[in-house]
Amino acid sequence: MIVNEQVAIDHGLKKDEYEKICELLKRTPNITELGVFSAMWNEHCSYKSSRLHLKTLPTKGKQVIQGPGENAGVIDIEDNDAIVFKIESHNHPSFIEPYQGAATGVGGINRDIFTMGARPIAQLNSLRFGSIDLARTKWLLAGVTKGIGDYGNAFGIPIVGGEVFFDDCYNTNPLVNAFSAGIMKKGDMISATSSGVGNPVFIVGSRTGKDGIHGASFASKDITEDSADDLPAVQVGDPFQEKLLLEATLELGKTDAVVGMQDMGAAGITCSSNEMSAAGGHGMDIWLDKVPTRQENMKDWEILLSESQERMLIVVEKGKESIVHEIFDKWDLSSEQIGVVTEGDRARYFMHGELVADVPCDDLVLGGGAPVYHREWSEPAYYSKWQKFDINQVSQPEDLIEVSKFLTGHENIASKRWVYEQYDSMVGTVNMSTNQPSDAGVVNLKGINRALAMTVDCNARMVNADPEEGCAMAVAEAARNIVCSGGIPSAITNCLNFGNPYNPEVYWQFVGAIKGMKKACEKFKTPVTGGNVSFYNQSSVEGKDVPVFPTPTIGMLGVLEDKKHFMSLSFKGKSDLIYMIGKAENNISSSEYLASYHSIKESPAPKLDLELEYEVQQTVTKLIREGCIESAHDISNGGAFITLLESAMVNNLGFDITTSAEIREDAFLFGESPSRVIVSVRETMEDAFLDTLKDINVPFVLLGHVTRGEIRVDDKVFGNIKEYKMLYDNALEDKLKQ
């Protein structure tokens, strides 16, 4: 095929990008080279529309061993141990084929962890779907959850938490974000940087097939009615192969044979070979005909761009090739030398001795010569309009019991038991929060007195209402969940899901979210160690591009410095006192109550006072450390009533509370203003509790007490815990059956 400007555009490149390629090569690229540039310069690999703003985020901290730039972030948890963690999206593949799309998302994020030399120990996921009434939503939900469950269960890593959210904006384009964390000794980190001219380059693991070709490019374009034709862009996973690859890789990492290692994800061999070469400041020759393939007569570009799963590219110290073969033979996995490290800065690809592509490594990669764009942005008209919302325009319902039951059974609040029962949460015996649920997933670290707390959080509705404030609240909520579980927030990884960056209003959302993340991370001293940007999450509806809610998912890691600090969210005993730390506001903006019960979607985000939020979290930490409280649960989706309900249901207890006379009752019960935590206190500990708070400038109020099972609000009986628990536990499954 003769390459020209139109062919380049058909490959997803812009006119100026094609001109730059010709300038770099000092000639017209051939079709294989064009494919290489197309894969490496798309949004998914180059971050060309996001890098400028991502660079403003805080990335350093006393605990950070490795920030952005590697396969995953690494933090120091002392005791000579380090935690490797990351979150990534697999949105577009899950839209096309939900089972394999979600399954390979799980596989890919775990490979990022063990490529670094760490053993994965826990997973989380953050899922977004459209209206639960749609048959397609039910199909997507069933496929995604089964894909996550089947792959994760077979791989043997517990899923210890997550979130599921439904909204019409995700009707076509679901979001599937997967988080994984692993542990290693501090000195065992393996870098994705190679070096040493003459060192052999190996491909190990599964054979290369035609699945996943152009997967990275597919993730960098809008979803349309024709996107189903892109099924070959979806990878096919094999968790059993991945388990073997994990063990073989970690065993090889303990030897002195490895120079560098890179997971083969987006853009396959193309990305791995160029990124490793650029990082090491050298070139690489790759012999594509040496790559073990699943199909006969695969073309050079197919081998280069395949995103077949369960593969690694490893640079090995010359003379130690036999170590690689012995280990991978032991685990019944392929290991073939397919290239060599060279002088210079070129990646050259050969097929049966013929040079089929010759490209400059550094000019291809993120952080090198890949394009970086200053996109225009503009504030959408809705933003100022929504700021005018007045709570007094919304009548308070006469029957708040009806509201409480409506919210308890709403798909965004009710138990996600139907989802998580498909996951193995106990494999590996590390999950500390299965029988005693907590705001974050808490993972036992064997052999030491520390534990990990981890969470994924984002209220996308609030981010849509106010990107800066909403994203700051996402970080704050993640930190609050860590704190309420007994941990100290350490660092974050992010998965930034947005629409088309060429849309100025979408880009305004993105820039605002980054600003909010920056100020919140600086306040909580939680540097960003890496993550993922996923643009083009939108659909073409009757010829109009409709983006999803801006959804910057925050994956946060925290450390319990002593396992005795573990704190559950459950009320423990009748007559325990119930306090609220923080201050209730006369605000129902962007709440589930306002959006779903009143069907009012146009309202601002609640305001976040970062200083107050920080002080509330410090106060809760102090209360836990001094043993003053029995439970802690942050107020978020559904408001104070749902928080109380979730704390009560675990042990089949109830609550009797009094709301504030200064605030509308519906706002007190169902408003979602941030910076609030519900705690329970034994009567015998109340004096100690109050003594701890007396010198702390944080508002708090006694709400009431725990009951044997009855729920009372302002002396009115709302029902019994058993009926709420039945509704809460079964609502989602019942709706999926309709």
Distance CA 327, CA 66 (A): 28
Report the side by side order of strands in the sheet with 334-342. Answer: 258-263, 311-316, 200-205, 334-342, 283-287, 346-351, 354-360
Query: How buried is 103 (Cβ within 10 angstroms: 0-12 exposed, 13-18 middle, 19+ buried)?
Result: buried
Active site residue 90: yes
What 3-state class would DSSP assign to 509? Answer: helix
Q: Is there a contact between 632 and 677 (Cβ–Cβ < 8 Å)?
A: yes
Q: Is there a contact between 563 and 452 (Cβ–Cβ < 8 Å)?
A: no
- Closest listed residue to residue 181, CA positions, set 550, 413, 633, 487: 487
What 3-state class would DSSP assign to 559? Answer: strand
DSSP structural state of residue 343: S
- The helix or strand, by DSSP H or E, that contains position 6, with its residue range, turns out to be helix 5-10
Query: How does DSSP assign 616-667, residue by residue?
Result: HHHHHHHHHHTT--SEEEE--TTHHHHHHHHHHHTTT-EEEE---TTS-HHH
Distance CA 371, CA 369 (A): 6
Q: Which of 11, 44, 53, 214 is catalytic?
A: 44
Distance CA 588, CA 355 (A): 64
Q: Which of 11, 90, 214, 410 is catalytic?
A: 90
**C-alpha dist (Å) from residue 719 to 401, 406, 580, 707:** 8, 13, 22, 12
Active site residue 282: no
**Which phi and psi angles does 659 have, rounded to 5°?**
-85, 175
334-342 and 283-287 as β-strands: parallel, antiparallel, unpaired? antiparallel
Q: Considering just the CA atoms, what is the radius of gyration of the chain in Å? A: 26
719-727 long-range contacts, CB within 8 A, separation 24+: 719/401, 719/405, 720/654, 721/645, 721/648, 721/649, 721/652, 721/653, 721/654, 722/652, 724/404, 724/405, 724/408, 724/645, 724/649, 725/649, 725/652, 727/405, 727/408, 727/409, 727/414
Q: In sequence order, which residues have a C-beta less than 8 Å from that of residue 578 and are 6 or more positions away?
A: 571, 644, 655, 657, 678, 679, 680, 681, 702, 703, 704, 705, 706
Exposed e or buried b per residue across 572-607, where buried means at least 16 C-beta atoms within 10 angstroms of its C-beta: beeebbbbbbbbbbebbbbbbbbbbbbebbebbbbe
Active site residues: 44, 90
